């Protein structure tokens, strides 16, 4: 199975953000782990990151007929982007919403996920391990 991983806004500076919340990995180090975990599970991964909401939506549109599984970390867009929500609503493949930090225990505005009800599964607050768990979940629950 091919797993598409879409990382959103500010994740390109992951290694420079609050290590207590996000861990100390850079986006390159995180993606290397994701590729390794996918390979270990007998799958391949394709990781993408952008700070452009329009580009993120384009990538979702490109995946409308995706036959594998997806991991979506829309980052701050999770909390307010109905445009991303509308794009995700069209997906037919299983996808997992992932957040490095525990957004349910942070600021009030971060506790709202406009995409939560659409996701096949949700993993929050497990740092990089959340991506590994998402791959494992997709491996057990997705076709392709």
Q: Which active-site residues does the annotation give?
A: 22, 99
| Strand ranges (E), the chain | 2-7, 44-49, 69-73, 95-99, 121-124
- Give all strands of the β-sheet with 2-7 in edge-to-edge order: 44-49, 2-7, 69-73, 95-99, 121-124
For 116, residues 6+ apart whose C-beta sits below 8 A from its C-beta are 97, 122
For 117, residues 6+ apart whose C-beta sits below 8 A from its C-beta are none
**What is the CA angle 72-73-77, rounded to 5?**
115
CA–centroid distance for 129 within its chain:
12
Radius of gyration of the chain (CA): 14
């Amino acid at each position: 199975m091919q797993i598409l991983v879409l990382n959103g806004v500010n994740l390109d500076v992951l290694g420079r953000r609050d290590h207590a919340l996000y861990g100390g990995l850079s986006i390159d180090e995180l993606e290397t782990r994701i590729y390794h975990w996918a390979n270990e599970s007998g799958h391949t991964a394709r990781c993408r990151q952008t700070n452009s909401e329009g580009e993120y939506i384009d990538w979702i549109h490109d995946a409308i007929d995706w036959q594998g599984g997806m991991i979506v970390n829309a980052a701050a867009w999770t909390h307010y982007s109905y445009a991303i929500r509308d794009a995700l609503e069209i997906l037919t493949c299983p996808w997992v919403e992932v957040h490095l930090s525990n957004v349910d225990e942070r600021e009030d505005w971060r506790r709202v996920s406009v995409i939560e009800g659409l996701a096949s599964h949700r993993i929050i607050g497990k740092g990089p391990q959340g991506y590994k768990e998402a791959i494992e979940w997709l491996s057990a629950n997705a076709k392709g």
